[in-house]
Amino acid sequence: MISLPSIATEQQAAQAWQDPSIFRVNKLPPRAFYYPTATEQNAFTMEPWQLDNYKLLNGQWKFNWVDSPSRKPDGFEKVTYNDASWDEIAVPANWELNGYGSPFYHSHYCLIPNTEQIELPRYYNPVGSYRKIINIDESWNNKQILIHFGAVKSAFYIYVNGQQVGYSEDSKTAAEFDITPYVSKGENTLALQVYRYSTGSYFECQDMWRMSGIERDVYLYAAPKVRISDFEANTTLIDNYTNGELTLTTTVQNHTKQTHANFDLLVSLLDANDKVMSTKTLSVPKIKEQQSTQVKAVFKVNDVLPWSAEVPNLYKLKIGLRNSNEQVVEWIGKSIGFRSSELKNGNILVNGKPVLFKGVNRHEHDPVTGHVVSKESMEKDVALMKAFNINAVRMAHYPQDPYIYHLADKYGLYVMDEANIESHGMGAANQGKYDPSAHLVNKLSWQNAYIDRISNMYHRSKNNPSVVMRSLGNESGDGINLEASYDWLKRQAPGFPVVSEQAQLRRHTDVYGQMYAPIQSATRYAKTMHDVSRPMILIEYEHAMGNSVGNLEEYWQAFEKYSQLQGGFIWDWVDQTFAMKNSKGELFWAYGGDLEPPFAVSAKSFAANGLVYADRTPYPYLWEVKQVQQNIDFELSSKTPYEINVINKQFFADLSDFTLSWQLMANGIEVEQGANLGINAKPQTSQRVSLPIKTKLKAGIEYFLNVQAVLKSAKNTLPTGHVVASEQLALTGFALTNNTKSASLKVKDSENSLAFSTKNAQFTFNKKTGLLNEINVFKKSLLANNVAQPVQPNFWRAPTDNDLPQKGYGDSFAVWQHAGSNITLTSFSSKKVSSTQYKVETEHTLNNVESRYFTTYTINGNGVVNVDVYFYAAPHNSYSALPRLGMQFVVNENFKNVQWYGRGPHENYDDRKSSAFVGLYQSDVDSLRVPYVRPQENGHKTDVRYVTFYNDKGIGVKFSGDPLIGFNASFYDMHDYDKSTEQVNRRNMHPSDLTKAPYIFVNIDYKQRGVGGTDSWGSKPLYEYELPWLDYKYSYKIEAVKLNAKK
């Protein structure tokens, strides 16, 4: 590990924050995370604050903030300093969320935008000074007194009773100091000076809010003068992965001025039920004064129960330190797991199996407290991940609170740990041009700082079985310092997988860690360009910014087909937004640009790219993640009798923890069901299950078989009855039904209008515009009277975050925004087909795109209107793909109730619909809305057989596909969502900024383009989900209906 002189000169200490060669002064070596205790019964505690040897220092501290080092208070560290005029601040807390300075959000800048110069800000570099009186109890006499800072950003000096103790950088791993020489019994003055910017800041250019302060717990603990200062429990599987081996290395530190002998280590290994598996008493060699020694031992466990994310078996390791007087003076407890992780045969193997990483990237973020994240929040994250079939998490982009690793160990998540290294603002390999020679990654003077951060990461989580890969950092350039970091890690754990995305296929990475590789690129690697020695893992993919996460199913088809594609980590888990209220008291989610001063450079809504909102409410696409990543699949193998194949895609667990449930659906309604069928397929095998379905299928009815795997009893955060996997299997196709009733049709033709009346409906056309401008159903006006918009073509959607960066949304795509309203009637005709049927034919020129739009309305006396549309793309010109193709109705607000037979219940799009099963659903228009952080297209439904909008008396209108349509409905005008189609001209918008209209915008679509998800800076949806510049034909029906009652 890195060592520095324990004492820096006064001048060196004063300038440490500006000197890349000084990053730790008097800071204790990094160690594994654990809470040493004085008693055996508390050895495994995760809450030691009530124990006699701990003092939690969280709470109120005296605080002073200045905007520049030149203004920091002199002599503040002295005991006699008068801090009466200072404020108080909570610890832990970010300054900027408590009224001191502003948070800044950017995706990659370091300190100064668009520069590669290593130059700390001369004027604006806030400094926070802290003071707190701490009491040292008499019972701590003859103890070693240590102080622990879980995370402080970006660098700090610590003083005790006026004396400088040390200095620390690396804001996301713990800093510990031995303050024994500086304290005395009774009151002591603890002082900190924290710098917002330091040379360490050039390692911390992550895609996150830039904030400062003490971000995790601060506490004192008292240890014996001879103590366990660290231990490493290196576990693996041996004998063809059947038995476990633990290599335990324990470091014992002597803080006294005399040699100590006759110390022992009492080591016990217990299983989850506290059955003793092994015990050993290990003699500690003589330890000279102020020195340490290491004690090594190997334990073998036959027929071990391995740890995996599927089956997180844990054992209990307990270590006691016994002195020469036969007193056990210290206890350490740690839950460990036996697992192996290795690069072998071109794959990362966990316990010998090429597991698939169904992962997410996770930042630490809370919507109120920022980078201060509670245990409850972490527990919620893990529970949600397990519930939605996420089995892996990349600690993006820094080591995170130790408690999240504890939860990953306990409940089962594979972890890619990551060093707190990102110098993105200076340039990143594989992302365009940058000057490697000017980059920190190739400066030898910075190499020790790199290794220090790698070492901090390694030691802290080295005993967590959930950690199966280690990352050298993120988007930090590539060069000699990353090579040295890789080599350092390989010396500590030679066979353990190390990842560097920046290295690509160079020697210093065990994984081809790609970011946002399109499906075609990943497939090409697997087919033709692969490096047989290592797999591709998408360490970032499916950028979940706004309405996104399209084509996830296609990614997973590739991952499951090609063995060298081992999955990926979606970007990212949680929106980095803040809960704020506007001037009207309405809650909104603030993102980049909302909190910064006007001059600030911000990446704006790039802060909002989570699978969940900041309060952990799931976005609709989290259901798609659950569906696509489920570990159990179902296939229909026979209809006579009904049998399905249940496919166990797990690598370690059979299916005996689950039962099978099923429902037979007829036109979206359940007609038969069953439950509690036993399943027990072994890992990577399938099992045929017979279903006792008695219903005879009838012609003209669409039947689906819905099946689920259900958890028998609570397990790993999941409750009894939790559905872990489901599928919808089509038994018959959709059959169109026609209203064959015949009735007379009344026609009223005037100079400006043509009206058709049936028993229950009236349809009126404006002959000057050729558009349908009045619809009455059961004598109720369907179209809103307080808006002058007729039924008209619509080609636009409010741009999604994925739409906006695409070349065209600022120029050629913009032609579609008003293409449906900027039209010229070129032909209008009507003809009587029979006494019960008329046809109205119109032709319009779409002026924006020089194309023609033909519509044929067949009005029937039974109240059904057949609408046939032909979009004729101008053959002599070419425009960008269409955002959507459909027609918009502005509907009276009373028709706010919705029933549809199609995919649901949640929002879905053509490239994100596998989780939305076909069914008969009820809702209201308000509930269809998805309030994305930046307003954009939302609430769509695909594969709709029919949708009905009706009032509280059941009177309504039914739109039926011929065969299928899509729809969405909203009280908000899409043209108000974002006035600019240019990304550069956009202003920050929020759902609370929109005005709710007194009418409903109903879009009946042939198709809408997919939402995409490959990235949010230019990639389009897959071609099969586009609406390219082509001719299109589609049909649907309009019908007045009266439902029995409001559902």
User: Cα-flanking dihedrals φ and ψ of residue 926, to 5°?
Assistant: -60, -40
Query: How far is Cα 537 from Cα 486, in angstroms, rounded to an integer?
Result: 18
Task: Count CA atoms within 13 Å of residue 407 on its CB side.
Answer: 21
In one-letter notation, the amino acid at residue 893 is E
Determine whether 475 is an active site residue.
Answer: yes
Determine whether 937 is an active site residue.
Answer: no
Query: How far is Cα 388 from Cα 411, in angstroms, rounded to an integer?
Result: 14
Structure tokens at 932: 């994305």
In one-letter notation, the amino acid at residue 199 is T
Catalytic residue, candidates 77, 540, 727, 907: 540
In one-letter notation, the amino acid at residue 397 is H
Structure tokens at 503: 């290295």
Structure-token match 């059947």, residue found: 242
What burial class does residue 58 get, using C-beta atoms within 10 Å of its C-beta: 0-12 exposed, 13-18 middle, 19+ buried?
Answer: middle
- Secondary structure class of 475 (helix, strand, coil): coil
Query: How far is Cα 579 from Cα 523, in angstroms, rounded to an integer?
Result: 41
Name the residue among 922, 917, 912, 887 with its Cα closest to residue 902.
917
Catalytic residue, candidates 96, 342, 364, 475: 475
Query: How far is Cα 286 from Cα 293, in angstroms, rounded to an integer?
Result: 8
DSSP designation for 696 = P
Query: What is the DSSP track for 582-641?
Result: -TTS-EEEE-TTSSS-TT----GGGG---SB-TT-PBPTHHHHHHHHT-SEEEEEEEETT
Structure-token match 């969502």, residue found: 977
Query: How far is Cα 823 from Cα 658, in angstroms, rounded to an integer?
Result: 58
In one-letter notation, the amino acid at residue 916 is A
Query: How far is Cα 34 from Cα 280, in angstroms, rounded to an integer?
Result: 21
Kind plus residue range of the DSSP H or E element containing 12: helix 10-15
In one-letter notation, the amino acid at residue 207 is D
Angle at which helices 447-461 and 480-492 cross, to 10°: 30
Name the residue among 11, 424, 377 with its Cα closest to residue 210.
424
β-pairing, 536-541 with 565-570?
A: parallel
- Secondary structure class of 387 (helix, strand, coil): helix
For 463-497, give one letter per residue: b (16+ CB within 10 A) or e. bbbbbbbbbbbbbbbbbbbbbbbbebbeebeeebb
Name the residue among 312, 336, 303 with its Cα closest to residue 237.
303
DSSP designation for 44 = T
Return the active site residues: 475, 540
